[in-house]
Structure 1
Amino acid sequence: MESKDEPKDEPGGEPKDDFPRTPSGTDVDPLGDPFLRTRFALPTRPAAFLRRDRLLAPLDREPGTPLVMVNGTAGAGKTLLVADWAARLRQPVAWLTLDAAIGGPGMFWAHVLQALRASGVPVSPDTGTVLDGAGNGRCPLGRLAAQLGATQRTVTLVLDDYDHAAAEVSEQLAFVLHHAGAGLRLVLVPRTEPLLPLHRYRAAGEISEIRDAELAFTAQETAALLDLHGVRVTVQAADALVERTRGWAAGVRLSALAARESPDPSLYLKEFEAGHSAVADFLLAEVLRSRPPRTQDLLLRVSVLERFCADLANTLVGGDDADSVLATLHRENAFVEDLGHGWYRLHPLFREILRVHLRERCPGLEPDLHRRAARWLRRHGALPEMVAHGAAAGDWAATARALVDDLAIGELFTGLRSDDLAGLLADLDPGTTGAAPDLVRAARDLARHDLDRGLTHLRHAHEELPPGADAAAARLSWALLEALAARLSGSPRRAEQAARAARQVRPEVPAPLLDRRPELSAQLLTHLGPTRLWAGRFDAARAALTAVLTGPDGASLVLPRVESLGRLALIEYLDGWPGRAERHARAALAESERFSLHDPVGPDLARLVLAGVAVDRGELGRAQQLLDPTPDPASQDPVAAVGRAIVTARLLLARGRSRAAAEAAGAPVPAVVTSPWAEGRTTLVAAEAHLAEGRPDVAAQVLREVADEDPECAVGAARAHVAAGDPSAALRVLDEATAHRRLGPAVRVRAALARAHAAQVAGNPVAARHLMADALLDARRERLRRPFAEARPWAEPLLAAPPMRQLAAGWLLPEGEAPARRTEPAPVLVDQLSVRERDVLARLAELMSTEEIAADLYVSVNTVKTHVKSVYRKLAVNRRHDAVRRARELGLL
């Protein structure tokens, strides 16, 4: 007898001898019934069988592993795969298909011996005698293991449907496998993981495994199998079938058989009704009806869910044992997939079939299940799923109240799940009335930039909002949507009123709820900033948008941060700071790419700004590439719409298409109020078009009224006055407009060029040269080439002078015009700089301090110091000046 202290799965231990006795060498089993030959026959492969070499290869490649396990769901194709492989082996193959009648130890081993004899493996007669109890005291399994170990050729024993074997059989089988050594290779074909010490075989590398994931048919294999059934379809149709069946072999084969009878096989495979098909019959018989009634009920109820955990399943079933049931179903490969962290999902085809069966077995239950699921999901913060189930239950009133009371309206605008939520809310029942449904409708419409409908629903919601703390969440949601509507309509006054309303109602909202929704404050600022920008209040807009970036971080705040960076980039571009604008724009794109956002405003506005900077740098091809994929944002935001119009017009001016530029800049943009800077920049484009066409007097006249308000317009007016032969007027305009103002480089360079031109016309060449040198020095840092291209007709003689050529060398003059240099090998950067290190390097070149760099990048000073050290190491330098010089040599700046 086995010691109680001895481990059950120890291969070296002696298992208990409790087999029924049967005479050896007979053709009857221990019960006296004839052996059924079908249990020992290699399964016949069908005529339309597809050999899959990718699955046979690992079995052939590892012939030395004593244990092979092909584990998969019912109908996964595991039996046919092993049969195909076994038929090709040159060594003896003993095949045994188990069932419930031969699962016990005595019947099992009697059938194993018969399978060995049937395959031609010599089994000593005294082994049978020992099994009958007439032996000499040695364990019969030890005799069997010794005989197999003594054979000259390895015997392959295949045990199909091994799930029917009793628990103690696995212990005995492990003993025989261990002591048979190289004489036995065991192949198990179960649906569940057997009770063998698999961890030991895995650790020793003595097992070859093929599981469900490998057994699944690929699109190419599916197309080939369909072809064998006489069904020829496109790869796309095969891929769609794989998507629906997850490559489940039986599903693919049964679908192929049904499609063969259809007049349009491709359409059938795409749209077949799974709930009433041969596939449904197979799964209901093999998986559902073979389970206890309570398990069947659980499977039917969770079929309304995309994914579920035990607690959610218990909520739908009304029990407390779902955890063990789900674990068992997954372990038994019953089409229940483990997603990790306690979450599961049903195989999509099985789920589809179960839902049809649920409606037939329990009509009217499905809406109640959706309502239960929605309540559970709301408590656990799964917003899109809660909305999906609320919609499926037709309970729109409760769903809308949940969205508003939980302050979840803002999630329609986070960019993470916005599309999913907007799609779910598209069918919101128009008959559902009240403040909450109207707020949800307004949010849905504003999210897709339908301003008219959004404003209508927002007005209705405001009329229905009740007073008091109970409606605080609803009033705060209304204020957020009001600010968004103000941004979309270009109404600064409305935005400020919405911001005040939000500040007043916030103290009435529970603090824990506000803490869970940090995106609301960020979104409010993101809407407030553009309206201030539209009003021409650049500093106030910059403050609101910067507050978003310096506030809390998190996934729900990514889109507000991206949009804020895009608008800050536009502010810097309009203010004449192309370097700053470029850094903000690149930061917006990097953040957007990191989270794979598809927001139409933030990233597109960043690309728009980069296109404008490229125009100023004379990179017209790059500007066009950045502008082409950027959609027209006119229906989204007047700030973005005017920004696009201005950049497009400047690109057209740079290409000599002045009339088209004036038309592009003058395109009307719907807005409640007129933006002063938008009007000024549009006027400036029109004036530059007149100037390009030789009408400087008209250009000066056009800019007369806006020159005092905008320094860039003043510079444009000065250029027009000089071209008209009035340098004194030009200098007067420049002095009045630029005094006591901190101008950006793009404005300073054009102003210096206008002064140089005025000095040249006034007959003061020395002053003209000094001013040209100032312009070149200022422009070199930002690589501003476009102002010099505009000035080329009069500036070319000045630029031809040797001192100017030296200042223009390497960045402004075309290749071949720069002064000669010593011929030296081009330096090579072995260790590439990261994106953040390049950002730091660009600011080092601008002579920014460590503290200024940290503030500009929204990082700590220590982080900047770490990046600076890394830059120095990679560039092999020790000082800032050397780092900048070497970076320029390498083309990094």
Structure 2
Amino acid sequence: MYHHTAPDPVGASPRRDPGGPADPLLSARFAVPAVPRFTVRRPALVARLTSGIETSLTLIDGVAGAGKTVLAAQWAASGRAPRRTVWLTADRGDTSGTFWAYLLEALRRHGIAPSLGVGTPVPTEGVDRSFLVRLAAEFADLREPVVLVLDAFDTVSSHDITDDLYFVLTHAGGGLRLVLTARDEASTPLRRHRVSGDLTEIRDADLRFSTAEADELLRAHALEVSPECVRLLVERTEGWAAGLRLCALAMSRAADPEAFVRDFAVDRTAIPDYLLAEVLDAQPPGTQDLLLRAAVTDRVHPELMAALTGRRDVEWTLARLARAHAFLDRVDASDRYRLHPLFAESLRIELRHRCPDLEPRLRRRAARWFAGAGRPTDALEQATAGHDWRYAAELMVDDLQIGRLFTGAERERLAHALAGLPSDVPGAAAALVGAALRLAAHDLDGCTAGLRRADARPRDPTAPTWLLARALVGVLAARAAGDPTVAGRAAADADRQMRRLSAPLVERHPEIPALVLTGLGATELHAGRFDRAEADLTAAVAVCHGPDTREPLCDALGMLALDELLRGRLSDAEAHAHASLAAAEAATTPPKDPMGMDHLVLAGVEVERDDLAAARLHLDLAATFAGPHTEPVATVEAAVIGARLATAAGDWRQALAVLRAAGSALPAARTRAWERDEMAIARSGAHLAHGDADAALDVLDGVDRDDPGHAVALARALLAAGRGDRAVEMLAGVTDDATLGRTRACLIRAEAAAEAGALPAARHWLRVAVGVASAERLRRVFVESGPWTRRLLRQDPELVRAHDWLPVRALGCLRLGSRGQSPALVGPLSDREIDVLRQAARMLSTQEIAAELCVSANTVKTHLKSIHRKLCVTRRSEAVHRARDLGIL
């Protein structure tokens, strides 16, 4: 049995080993380390340690500086550790005899003395099985177990010690609990206890600091920084405790701590010194060389490392380093590994110091390895980092990566890697890539100059990849310049080259036909070639599939919606605008250059349907989401819609101001005749709104345009000027397939007939107008027609009952009489359903509504289904319209 003795008084002479050399036992190894002044209290982890004592073995393992020892010391000093808690710090130089001598001494210093029958280990020798059996037996006889904390257990290099300790623990009968801190779990008897479940683990991931803990650490250093700064610091250090502490020290010396974090550079801290000393220097020379070479890549591939080192044991070495928490982790279940970013940067600093010329050579070799492995983005990054610019440019062209400068998940990575491309790199490929980079940055002049250089430099004139890449950039540049002729030629060339290339290569790059067709369609739309634009944009939508075509898909759908809006096909325009929004919502990353075209089209649709509140909201959203580089056609349409809304609100001066501002912002050389006509029609409408028919006619006469829409607008102005016969004559030769144009023409004929006293003819044309407008629910045109429409509709209640979609303002009190024809409510909406409907009226997506109301997206979908059922509608927009008609909103 154990004999309980008083602990040695402070300052007492240390015991000496009677059987070996007269080396003293170091008292520091028995002492619980002092908790540092800046320590962050971690009650949750302390609680896990306390509950973990119910198992025989508790392991705290993690990288150097993760806070393993600090946590164990914090627990030991917290008062939550059991009374019989013994501390011993392991040492790399311990022999078996020395380790057990220290362990027995640790027990004695805590008042727990083994009986004389256990024996005394000799430091210069090992221990026999009899010693271990007797020691385990004495532990087993204890009524209260002993908790032994073995700190830095990974430094124990003797497998005999590990095996012997496991033997004692297994046979101690619950009288011994072990708490081990270690960097390398391989040094512990872990596997056996994990299988039995008799194990508590606190791993490296558990030891990483949260943002709240990092904030507490910074405050302990008298650093008051923003939450975003703390988040960024935790992100860059990955919550590594020592890294945060070293950064806090550096921030304390910085003039601007937040700027220090924003412009974080590892070489401005003591982190490299710490990591090189604690991790790199602890490895044998061959492993050091492997780590230094591995630092040139973000992901460590065993095959690549074998190519860079010439070693055959790379995979085994990497697996060992990962198990040893050497700041190297396996990526999920793959065969790849990842260095901690701070360690990787520290290794690169050391590599440049030891071998200044080696890093570029390694990166160039890595670039070719990645290219051969089918990882072109990784290859490009390595080539540019190794200043192999010509190879990087040729890779962009030969592998058709150039389209991904404009779309796809790799867009930012590629642009970042190529940002430093010098202008004097030889070769046509470098000039072409430079031109594409300028175009992606909306520098059309720079792109044009780059294309001239590319065309002038020597190259293989028959290489289909170069010709396809050149054609793609040519289409996109022509779109930016508004040149449909050049765009058409380049698109035709792109189609020819894609037919020459192998099908697998083209299939790997669906973004190329998507970008070509979208660019061509947008250019045709800007030129007013609406039929061609529709065909090209429809084809673009058809070829878009996968994440790399998400941006051209949104772009093509938005442009297609605008094409249909301009031609009065409101339902098709609305459907494609919603499809564009849905595609953008489904994208993993938002488009880099949003245009807000979908919301702009929906604003135009809502104006024609006389939902002015929804139109204003969509117009505001279009302005919010539009990037700084708006297409001219979008600028024109936004001005027209804004002017119509101002006119509807009675502010004709504001309407004219909006149109003037848009006209000034548009380059005259790029403004097409149809765009000028669109704005002229909107200006004439503003003049008519305040009774100035002469000004409306002057505006329209100033535009030479042979177009049905222009003719209808001119007829409307003539009618307002009292020239009804001339207005009807103007419409005689007009053939407009657009529903909106035909409706307006019919209403002009009806009004002219009414003014002439031909009421039967007026009623006939009004009925035709209502019939034509019914498919698209064109309400606004009836509101704008004036009081004569209301008078005629009052005389035709049968027509009103048949078309309950007609606007209240055009019907007067007749709406109440006709409401009986509308489907009745199935049931009242709940308060939560009304909340959802209000958010839907703001044009929020399902996810955005869920976030606003703090519910799940599935809950929102359930509410919307119920709303549709109760309001007898099938679409969200119809539900909003119906709710407004019923006074719910």
1:457 maps to 450
User: Aligned equivalents of 2:140 and 2:321: distance in 1?
Assistant: 38
1:669 aligns with 2:705: no
1:688 aligns with 2:681: no
1:539 maps to 531
AA aligned to 2:816 is A
Q: What pairs with 1:276-315 in structure 2 (closer than 5 Å)?
A: 278-315=270-307
1:74 maps to 64
2:715 maps to 718
> Of residues 73, 76, 86 in structure 2, which corresponds to 1:86?
76
SS of residue in 1 equivalent to 2:360:
helix
Q: What pairs with 1:410-809 in structure 2 (closer than 5 Å)?
A: 410-464=403-457, 466-469=459-462, 471-551=463-543, 553-599=545-591, 603-628=595-620, 629-630=623-624, 635=629, 637-655=631-649, 656-657=651-652, 658-664=655-661, 666-667=663-664, 669-670=666-667, 675-700=672-697, 702-703=699-700, 709-738=706-735, 742-744=737-739, 746-769=740-763, 771-772=765-766, 775-776=769-770, 779=773, 782-799=776-793, 802-803=797-798, 806=801
SS of residue in 2 equivalent to 1:43:
coil
AA aligned to 1:688 is G
> Of residues 148, 155, 180 in structure 1, which corresponds to 2:146?
155
Structure 1 residue 567: deviation in Å?
A: 0.8
User: Aligned equivalents of 1:460 and 1:130: distance in 2?
Assistant: 83
Task: Map Cα deviations across residues 372-411 of structure 1 (whole Å, 9 max, x no partner).
Answer: 2222233334444433333332222222122112222111
User: Aligned equivalents of 1:672 and 1:885: distance in 2?
Assistant: 42
Structure 1 residue 443: deviation in Å?
A: 0.5
1:48 maps to 38
In structure 2, the CA distance between the partners of 1:602 and 1:223, relative to structure 1 (3 Å rule), is: closer
Task: Map Cα deviations across residues 523-542 of structure 1 (whole Å, 9 max, x no partner).
Answer: 11111112222333322221
Task: Map Cα deviations across residues 314-361 of structure 1 (whole Å, 9 max, x no partner).
Answer: 333343433222222221111123333233332222222222222221
Q: What pairs with 1:195-274 in structure 2 (closer than 5 Å)?
A: 198=190, 201=193, 206-229=198-221, 235=227, 238-257=230-249, 274=266
> Of residues 816, 819, 823 in structure 2, which corresponds to 1:818?
816
Contact map agreement 1:79 1:189 (CA 8 A) in 2: yes
SS of residue in 1 equivalent to 2:421:
coil
Task: Map Cα deviations across residues 775-816 of structure 1 (whole Å, 9 max, x no partner).
Answer: 556656645432233124433334556556646757732799
SS of residue in 1 equivalent to 2:450:
helix
Normalised by the length of structure 2, the TM-score is 0.82
User: Aligned equivalents of 1:499 and 1:637: distance in 2?
Assistant: 20
Contact map agreement 1:160 1:190 (CA 8 A) in 2: yes
AA aligned to 2:549 is L
User: Aligned equivalents of 2:875 and 2:676: distance in 1?
Assistant: 42
**CA RMSD between the two structures:** 4.1
Structure 1 residue 444: deviation in Å?
A: 0.9
User: Aligned equivalents of 2:627 and 2:392: distance in 1?
Assistant: 32
In structure 2, the CA distance between the partners of 1:97 and 1:66, relative to structure 1 (3 Å rule), is: same
User: Aligned equivalents of 1:823 and 1:514: distance in 2?
Assistant: 54
User: Aligned equivalents of 2:291 and 2:178: distance in 1?
Assistant: 34
Structure 1 residue 500: deviation in Å?
A: 2.5
In structure 2, the CA distance between the partners of 1:265 and 1:791, relative to structure 1 (3 Å rule), is: closer
User: Aligned equivalents of 2:561 and 2:250: distance in 1?
Assistant: 59
2:844 maps to none
Task: Map Cα deviations across residues 154-207 of structure 1 (whole Å, 9 max, x no partner).
Answer: 321211111134335445444544444543332111101246674665576543
User: Aligned equivalents of 2:628 and 2:211: distance in 1?
Assistant: 43
SS of residue in 2 equivalent to 1:148:
helix
User: Aligned equivalents of 1:704 and 1:671: distance in 2?
Assistant: 19
| Identity of matched residues, % | 41
Count of paired positions:
825
User: Aligned equivalents of 1:751 and 1:201: distance in 2?
Assistant: 87
User: Aligned equivalents of 1:492 and 1:380: distance in 2?
Assistant: 40
Structure 1 residue 827: deviation in Å?
A: 5.7
Contact map agreement 1:78 1:189 (CA 8 A) in 2: yes
SS of residue in 1 equivalent to 2:185:
coil
1:387 maps to 380
Contact map agreement 2:478 2:487 (CA 8 A) in 1: yes
Contact map agreement 1:436 1:474 (CA 8 A) in 2: yes
1:28 maps to 17
Q: Point out where structure 2 has 5 or more consecutive residues left out of the alignment.
A: 1-13, 841-860, 884-889
Q: What pairs with 1:269-418 in structure 2 (closer than 5 Å)?
A: 274-275=266-267, 278-340=270-332, 341-418=334-411
User: Aligned equivalents of 2:628 and 2:680: distance in 1?
Assistant: 19
In structure 2, the CA distance between the partners of 1:268 and 1:669, relative to structure 1 (3 Å rule), is: closer
Task: Map Cα deviations across residues 188-229 of structure 1 (whole Å, 9 max, x no partner).
Answer: 111012466746655765433222222223344334334444
User: Aligned equivalents of 2:198 and 2:175: distance in 1?
Assistant: 14
Contact map agreement 2:153 2:187 (CA 8 A) in 1: no
Structure 1 residue 93: deviation in Å?
A: 0.5
- More divergent stretch after superposition (434-443 vs 797-806): 797-806
- More divergent stretch after superposition (204-213 vs 684-693): 204-213
SS of residue in 2 equivalent to 1:599:
coil
User: Aligned equivalents of 1:686 and 1:486: distance in 2?
Assistant: 30
User: Aligned equivalents of 1:213 and 1:498: distance in 2?
Assistant: 54
Contact map agreement 1:491 1:672 (CA 8 A) in 2: no
In structure 2, the CA distance between the partners of 1:649 and 1:501, relative to structure 1 (3 Å rule), is: same
Q: Point out where structure 1 has 5 or more consecutive residues left out of the alignment.
A: 1-24, 839-869
AA aligned to 1:743 is A
User: Aligned equivalents of 1:634 and 1:195: distance in 2?
Assistant: 59
In structure 2, the CA distance between the partners of 1:233 and 1:29, relative to structure 1 (3 Å rule), is: farther
Contact map agreement 2:376 2:395 (CA 8 A) in 1: no
In structure 2, the CA distance between the partners of 1:162 and 1:479, relative to structure 1 (3 Å rule), is: same
SS of residue in 2 equivalent to 1:208:
strand
1:848 maps to none
User: Aligned equivalents of 1:328 and 1:365: distance in 2?
Assistant: 25
User: Aligned equivalents of 2:264 and 2:542: distance in 1?
Assistant: 54
User: Aligned equivalents of 1:634 and 1:830: distance in 2?
Assistant: 38
User: Aligned equivalents of 1:130 and 1:292: distance in 2?
Assistant: 32
1:57 maps to 47
User: Aligned equivalents of 2:491 and 2:253: distance in 1?
Assistant: 65
User: Aligned equivalents of 1:148 and 1:774: distance in 2?
Assistant: 102
